[in-house]
Amino acid sequence: MPLQVLDHPLAFHLLSHLRDKSTPPEQFRVLAENLTTLLVLQATYPIRTREVMVETPLQTTPGKVLGESLAAVPVLRAGLGMLQSVVRLFPDVAVGYIGLERHEDTAIARSYYSKLPCMDNRFTLCLDPMLATGGSAAQAISLIKAAGAMHVTMVSVVSSPEGVAHLQERHPDVNIVTGALDEGLNDKKYILPGLGDFGDRLYGT
């Protein structure tokens, strides 16, 4: 399935400030939320709608409303910085959480928490800001599918070619929507040029 990289002047602006190492946590959080809004709007473009009749103050007119329910699953802890945008856009969204911790030496993720709602017939977003090796994302999406999700879209702020390739190999049916496709990974499996550790920058730790 296709990789979609945001191509919008505002996305470029927001991402440049997110990359800037001098951006303080309080500003970083606002930038991340605003960029996630753009990402989620793109990611949910395929969501189904249904027709309804609406009474305006002047007459009855046909309209469209969302025709399927939505679920969002942030990968802890960094994915929490993306969740508020989804909740604000889709107040009825069902929210689950997956906790994955990456080993600093091996870059392999260890699962320490999973709490998911019923995912049947839900348009599902997996939220993880850094798609680096793709291992964490692939593992999270496997858990999401095991809970019943059929249509899953990966949403990330920054991705590496290695991470995209790995996720497409493991889950070829999953769309990927990202703010940028960067150069690659360094020897510690961090994205270059990237923006550092998203969770640390988000929370000032």
pLDDT of residue 101: 74
CB-based contact 154:175 (threshold 8 Å): yes
- Give pLDDT, residue 128: 95
pTM: 0.91
Rg (CA), the chain: 17
**H or E segment to which residue 90 belongs:** none
What integer pLDDT is reported at residue 1 of this predicted model?
A: 53
The pLDDT assigned to 43 comes to 97
Tokens of residue 156, six digits? 């990330």
Distance (Å, whole) CA 98 – CA 71: 13
Mean pLDDT by 10 residues, the chain (205 residues): 91 97 95 97 95 97 95 92 94 92 62 85 94 92 91 96 96 96 93 92 85
Domains in the chain, please, with CATH? 3-203 (3.40.50.2020)
* pLDDT score of 2: 87
Q: Do 152 and 145 contact (CB within 8 A), yes or no? A: yes
